[in-house]
Amino acid sequence: MGRYIFGIDVGGTTVKCGLFNTEGNVLDKWEIVTRTEDAGEHILPDVAGTVLEKAREKGIRGEEIAGLGIGVPGPVNENGEMPVAVNLGWGYKNVAGELEKLTGWKVRAVNDANAAALGEMWKGGAHGYRHVVLLTLGTGIGGGIIINGKVIPGAHGAGGEVGHVHVEDAETEICNCGNRGCLEQVASATGIVRLARRVLESDDTPSVLRGSELSAKAVFDAVKAGDPAAVQVAEKFGEYLGKAMAGFASVADPEIFVIGGGVSKAGTILLDYIKKYYLRYAFPPCRDAEFALAQLGNDAGIYGAARLLLD
Amino acid sequence: MGRYIFGIDVGGTTVKCGLFNTEGNVLDKWEIVTRTEDAGEHILPDVAGTVLEKAREKGIRGEEIAGLGIGVPGPVNENGEMPVAVNLGWGYKNVAGELEKLTGWKVRAVNDANAAALGEMWKGGAHGYRHVVLLTLGTGIGGGIIINGKVIPGAHGAGGEVGHVHVEDAETEICNCGNRGCLEQVASATGIVRLARRVLESDDTPSVLRGSELSAKAVFDAVKAGDPAAVQVAEKFGEYLGKAMAGFASVADPEIFVIGGGVSKAGTILLDYIKKYYLRYAFPPCRDAEFALAQLGNDAGIYGAARLLLD
C-alpha cells in the first residue's frame, strides 16, 4: 500500500485539502474555492486537479498513493454515491466513482460529519476509542456514529444525522428538514440563540445578554460570569441535548461522546450542562460513557476522510 | 467448518435449545429448565450437558460441529462476558469462555434481544436485509440493532437496549431500570395496560375494555372492533413508539424495523399506528424504512444464537 493519502472536505464555500502519510501526520494543507455554479459540475474536477497538481509538486508517484478520501455535505451510501447534495447544487452523484476516474486512485466518500467523527477518533478527542458518537454543534447539528472503529453510513446515508431527532412537541417553527421540534432547533449555535431570545422575552430580569448581539459564545461567556438568564439558557440546552444523547446511548452505546463545532469553543462548561442531564436520563449501564471536546477543529474532516483509506 | 450449530436461548424459567445446520434449517428443538438456584451456577453446565448429550444421541462428532451460540438476558460484551444477569442470579460471568471449556467447541454469546434480531434477519421478518432494528414488545421491551449484518453489542453491552429511552417527562412511576418515563413503561405489554387504565380513568365513555381484564391483546381486539377508548390507547402507544423509532432511525438509519414479542400478535394493525407517527417525526431520508412483524416467535433467539457462528 502507498504511503500517502489525500483527505478532502467539501464545504459549501471552500474545499479543504490535506496530504497525509499513513501514520496520520499532515504533510500539507490547503484550500480551494467550491464552485457551486453549473449545478456544481466543476467541484470534483477541481478536486482532482488540485490533488494531481499537489502530487506532481511533491514528486509523489501514483504507486506511492494509497488513495483519496472525501467528505461531502449530505447523505452518502456505502458505495460513495449521493442521492442529492443541496449545498453543492448536485442531484444524484457517484462521488467515489467519478473521482476514481479523474485521479486513477482508490477513492472513498462519506458524509462530512461522519468524516469528522473518524478524524476525531484517529487523531482527536476520541483518540484510542472504538465506539464513538460525535456531535458537531455549528449553525446546524451534524453527527457521526462509530461502532468498532467503523462509521455507520446508514441505509439511506442518514446514519448519525442526530440533529433531526424530535425533542420538543411544543415547537411552532419549522426546521430546515421540514419537521418541527428537532434537536438542531434548540442545541445548535442558532438554536441556542433561539433559546436565549425566548428566555429573555419570558420576563424582564436584568441580564448582560440584553441589548448585545446574541450568540452561543455570548451566552456561555455570560454563564461563566454567573448571569442568571444565561444559566437558564444553558440548563435548557443541557436538558435537550443530554436527554437526546441518553437516547443515542440506548441505541449505539458508545464509550465516548465528542462535542465539536463552533459551539464547542465554549469549553468544558458545555460538557457540564450536558452531562448533568445525560446522567439523569441515561440507561444505567450507559452512564459511565465519557465526554470530551473535539480537538481537530475544522481539520477533523480532512483527517477522517484520509482515515477512510486505512480500512 | 463443521456442518452443525447449536443455538441456545437462556430465559429466566426455561432454556430453549436448537440444533441447526449451517443453512439455517432447524434439525431438532427442545427445552430444559433454567435452574437459577445457587446463584445460577448450574445453568451453563446444564446447557453443556444437554448439547453434548444431543450430539451423542444424533451421532454427531466434534469436528462436525461449527460451534454453539447462546443468547442471555442482560448486557454482554464483545468477548461474551456479562457484568451481571439479574434474572439468572449471576454476577460477572464469562459465558463464552466457560461454555468453551465445558464443551470444547467454539462459543459466541450475545444479549438475547440481539440474538432475536439476528434470527429475524437470518430466517424471519427481516430476511434479506442487512440494516435492521428489532423491537421485542413483551412484558418489557428489548431491542437489537444490526448494521451491515452484524449486531451492535455496544461498549457496555447496552447496544439496542431501546426500552429505556426516555419518552415521557410527566411519568410519575419508576421503571425497572430506576429511571422515570422509559419507552418500556408505555409501549410494552404492561405499558399498554397502563395506558389503557389511564385512558379509562380519564372519563367515563362506554368501552368494551371496562370491567374485563386489561391486556395488550384485549386493547387491540377492541381497536379492531372500533372501540373509541381502545383507539385512543392505540394512538398514544403509536405516538410514543413511532416517535421513539424516528429517533432510532436518526442514529442507526435501518432499512427495516421488525416488531416482535407478545404484543406483535395484534398483527399489522400495530404497524399502522406506529407508522403513522414514525412518518410524522422521522428525518425525511429515513421515511422509506420498511416495517414488518417478526416471524419466528419464541424461536428467534435460538436461530440468531446459531447465526453468530457464521460470521
Query: Taking 90 as the threshold, does the pLDDT of residue A175 lie above it?
Result: yes
For residues A113 and A188, membership in a common domain is answered with no
* Per-residue pLDDT tens over the stretch B11-36: 989 999 999 999 999 999 999 999 99
Q: Which residue of B has its CA nearest to A144?
A: B251
Give the per-residue pLDDT at B173.
95
- When CB atoms are compared, the residue of B78, B131, B177 closest to A283 is B177
CB B73 within 8 A of CB B144: no
Contact check, Cβ <8 Å, B252/A154: yes
User: What is the mean predicted confidence (pLDDT) over A11-32?
Assistant: 96
Contact check, Cβ <8 Å, B251/A255: no
- When CB atoms are compared, the residue of A153, A162, A252 closest to B159 is A252
Q: Which residues of A touch B248 (CB under 8 A)?
A: 251
For residues B107 and B168, membership in a common domain is answered with no
* Per-residue pLDDT tens over the stretch B252-267: 999 999 999 999 999 9
- When CB atoms are compared, the residue of A155, A165, A247 closest to B253 is A155
Q: A25 to chain B nearest CA, in Å?
A: 28
Q: A126 to chain B nearest CA, in Å?
A: 14
Which amino acid, residue A164?
H
Q: A102 to chain B nearest CA, in Å?
A: 29
* Per-residue pLDDT tens over the stretch B120-171: 999 999 999 999 999 999 989 999 999 999 999 899 888 998 999 999 999 9
Q: How far is residue A234's CA from residue A223's CA, in Å, rounded to a whole number?
A: 7
For residues B41 and B141, membership in a common domain is answered with no
For residues B147 and B257, membership in a common domain is answered with yes
For residues A74 and A156, membership in a common domain is answered with no
Q: For chain A, which residues lie within 8 Å of any Cβ of chain B, measuring from their own Cβ?
A: 75, 78, 83, 131, 145, 147-148, 152-166, 177-179, 243-244, 246-255, 281, 283-286, 288-289
For residues A184 and A257, membership in a common domain is answered with yes
Number of folded domains in chain A? 2
For residues B134 and B277, membership in a common domain is answered with yes
Mutate to test the interface with B, among A82, A167, A168, A253 (most CBs of B within 10 A): A253
Q: Which residues of B touch A248 (CB under 8 A)?
A: 251
Q: How far is residue A192's CA from residue A189's CA, in Å, rounded to a whole number?
A: 5
Distances (CA, A) of A142 to A113, A139, A163, A259, A301: 6, 9, 6, 10, 12
Q: How far is residue A119's CA from residue A117's CA, in Å, rounded to a whole number?
A: 5
For residues A232 and A167, membership in a common domain is answered with yes
| Percent of chain B with pLDDT strictly greater than 90 | 89
Mutate to test the interface with B, among A175, A283, A311 (most CBs of B within 10 A): A283
Q: Which residues of A touch B165 (CB under 8 A)?
A: 246-247, 250-251, 283
- When CB atoms are compared, the residue of B75, B152, B250 closest to A285 is B75
The pTM for the full model equals 0.92
Query: Taking 90 as the threshold, does the pLDDT of residue B86 lie above it?
Result: no
Cβ pairs bridging A and B (under 8 Å): 138
For residues B139 and B269, membership in a common domain is answered with yes
Q: SS3 for chain A, per residue?
A: CCCEEEEEEECCCEEEEEEEECCCCEEEEEEEECCCCHHHCCHHHHHHHHHHHHHHHHCCCHHHEEEEEEEECCCCCCCCEECCEHHHCECCEEHHHHHHHHHCCCEEEEEHHHHHHHHHHHHCCCCCCCCEEEEEECCCEEEEEEECCEECCCCCCCCCCHHHCECCCCCCCECCCCCECECHHHHCHHHHHHHHHHHHHHCCCCCCCCCCCCCHHHHHHHHHCCCHHHHHHHHHHHHHHHHHHHHHHHHHCCCEEEEECHHHHHCHHHHHHHHHHHHHHCCHHHCCCEEEECCCHHHHHHHHHHHHHHC
Q: Which residues of B touch A157 (CB under 8 A)?
A: 253, 285
Query: Taking 80 as the threshold, does the pLDDT of residue A230 lie above it?
Result: yes
For residues B183 and B252, membership in a common domain is answered with yes
Give the per-residue pLDDT at A211.
86
User: What is the mean predicted confidence (pLDDT) over B277-297?
Assistant: 96
- When CB atoms are compared, the residue of B253, B281, B284 closest to A159 is B253
Contact check, Cβ <8 Å, A285/B158: yes
CATH number at residue B220: 3.30.420.40
Burial of A293 (0-12, 13-18, 19+ CB in 10 A): middle
Give the per-residue pLDDT at B208.
95
- Phi and psi for B113 in degrees, rounded to 5? -70, -35
For residues A281 and A260, membership in a common domain is answered with yes
In this prediction, residue A158 has a pLDDT band, given cuts at 50, 70 and 90, of: confident
Q: 3-class DSSP state for residue B139?
A: coil
Q: For chain B, which residues lie within 8 Å of any Cβ of chain A, measuring from their own Cβ?
A: 75, 78, 83, 131, 145, 147-148, 152-166, 177-179, 243-244, 246-255, 281, 283-286, 288-289
Q: Which domain holds residue A205?
A: 127-295
In this prediction, residue A85 has a pLDDT band, given cuts at 50, 70 and 90, of: confident
| Percent of chain A with pLDDT strictly greater than 90 | 89
User: What is the mean predicted confidence (pLDDT) over B265-273?
Assistant: 96
Per DSSP, helices labelled H in chain B are 43-58, 95-103, 112-123, 184-187, 189-202, 216-224, 228-252, 268-281, 300-307
Give the per-residue pLDDT at B203.
87
For residues B24 and B10, membership in a common domain is answered with yes
